[in-house]
Amino acid sequence: MSSDPTGPAGPSFDLGPDHLELRSWVHDFAAEVIRPAAAEWDEREEFPWPVVEEAAKIGLYSLDFFATQSFEESGLGIPIAMEELFWGDAGIGLAIVGTALAAAGVRANGTDEQVMEWVPQMFGSPGDLKLGAFCSSEPDAGSDVGAMRTRAVYDEATDEWVLKGTKTWATNGGIADVHVVTAVVDPELRTRGQASFVVPPGTQGLSQGQKFSKHGIRASHTAEVVLDGVRVPGRCLLGGKEKLDARLAKAREGARAGTTGGGNASMATFERTRPAVGAQAVGIARAAYEVALDYARTREQFGKPIIENQAVAFMLADMATSIEAARLLVWRAAWMARQGKRFEKAEGSMSKLVAGEAAVNVTTQAMQILGGNGFTREYPVERMSRDAKIYTIFEGTSEIQRLVIARTISGAPIR
């Protein structure tokens, strides 16, 4: 039997004082500010500006917070903060962190100078908040990113890119100050012929299309973004023209030789954000589990608390176990990403898959434990279960996560 003297490397499970402090700081905000507001903003289905302002006042909606936690050594800062925020409420949580997805899009593909220029403009400052939106999906290109039609054409005379197309389901789409847009620069190359662009605040030709009315996360704004001949300066191409030209040349060479190579702009963003999205799902699941546990201890039927029925207690046991399992996968994937380790087994996708499905199952079981009360808006698990469903859909559906995992572990061209 071979032995590896270093053992399986992994994150420490002892949270240090910084992580404990972060957790209780975000938790207190979630308990005191987000939770009391959750039902109202879900009902209103509007962006919860006053709550996001409160978050900004304490430094929870800011470039500083985002940067400190993103560059923090263990990689656990972001998942810890996400879990607590979304434990508070997922719709408001997404209103607070939706900008971070757009910022991740700039970080994944942009130069340091571009990160410094655009990311601060996405957050603004208390009293003058700004938003960012990441626009990749299109009406005919959701899971199939290669079917994207939005075109970016370079105008050499003016050193401008001209963007034309329609994006859909964009979180903060149309109300954001800075939009990060993926577009096709070379249609022959499918996903490898795509690039990301920043559309600066106030750019002519960008407008909001339909705003969607949703099943869950209703405090988060989701809308179409129409790009009607939007002209952006050359410096808005993330990564720069030289890097794009080199990447396209490599992809064309690969296409001729029948191999892959050259990378993809949307995928680079999603790889970074999947564990964080998984952590959001863990937060929703934990919130619903806690409500169900309390309820099962106090609700009496047949002369005893319902938790004394094995059928109910086993449901709680399964819920607790799947939350712990999901959190471990999320933390490990976040740690691996921070250490620059390759996801050899698609660990990022595994974490998002397990956490998303845990959120749906746990919130459904929580409703079951609350009986009729679980089905009403008098109790929060009904909202939590509506919110949980998006975690098997956005940032790659559960089927797409399975596809990525299956391809990674098998090396086979599974479709």
Binding positions for ligand FAD, rule: CB under 6 A: 101, 134-137, 142-143, 169-171, 214, 217, 222, 390, 393-397, 399-400, 403
First to last CA, the chain: 36
Residue (109 or 136) nearer to ligand FAD, CB: 136
Residue (356 or 396) nearer to ligand FAD, CB: 396
User: Going by C-beta distance under 8 Å and a sequence separation of 6 or more, which residues neighbour residue 341?
Assistant: none
Residue (21 or 399) nearer to ligand FAD, CB: 399
Count Cα neighbours of 75 within 13 Å in the Cβ-side half-sphere.
24
Residue (125 or 207) nearer to ligand FAD, CB: 207
Residue (114 or 401) nearer to ligand FAD, CB: 401
Residue (143 or 298) nearer to ligand FAD, CB: 143
Task: Give the residue among 227, 234, 106 at the shortest CA–CA distance from 161.
Answer: 234
Residue (225 or 315) nearer to ligand FAD, CB: 225
CB of 300 to ligand FAD, least distance (A): 39
CB of 400 to ligand FAD, least distance (A): 6
In which residue are the tokens 């001729």 written?
Answer: 256
- Phi and psi torsions of 202, nearest 5°: 75, 10
Residue 294 near residue 312 (C-beta atoms within 8 A): no
Task: Give the residue among 190, 203, 284, 195 at the shortest CA–CA distance from 237.
Answer: 195
Q: At what angle do helices 63-71 and 112-123 cross, to 10 degrees?
A: 130
CA distance 273 to 236: 22
CA distance 362 to 318: 8
CB of 170 to ligand FAD, least distance (A): 5
CB of 212 to ligand FAD, least distance (A): 7
Q: Strands 222-233, 206-211: parallel, antiparallel or unpaired by DSSP?
A: antiparallel
DSSP 162-189: EEEEEEEEEETTTT-SEEEEEEES-GGG
Q: Catalytic residue among 138, 224, 382, 395, which?
A: 395
DSSP 103-148: HHHHHHHS-HHHHHHHHHHHHEETTEE--EEEE--BTTBSS-GGG-
CB of 136 to ligand FAD, least distance (A): 3
Which residue is closest to ligand FAD by CB?
142
CB of 390 to ligand FAD, least distance (A): 5
CB of 188 to ligand FAD, least distance (A): 22
- Phi and psi torsions of 259, nearest 5°: -115, 175
Residue (135 or 227) nearer to ligand FAD, CB: 135
CA distance 382 to 370: 10
Q: With helix as H, strand as E and coil as C, how does 314-375 read?
A: HHHHHHHHHHHHHHHHHHHHHHHHHHCCCCCCCHHHHHHHHHHHHHHHHHHHHHHHCHHHHC
Residue 391 near residue 359 (C-beta atoms within 8 A): yes
CB under 8 Å, gap of 24 or more: what pairs does 147-150 form? Answer: 148/182, 148/183, 148/184, 148/191, 148/194, 149/184, 150/181, 150/182, 150/183, 150/184, 150/227
CB of 146 to ligand FAD, least distance (A): 11
Note if 138 is an active site residue: no
By annotation, the residues acting in catalysis are 395
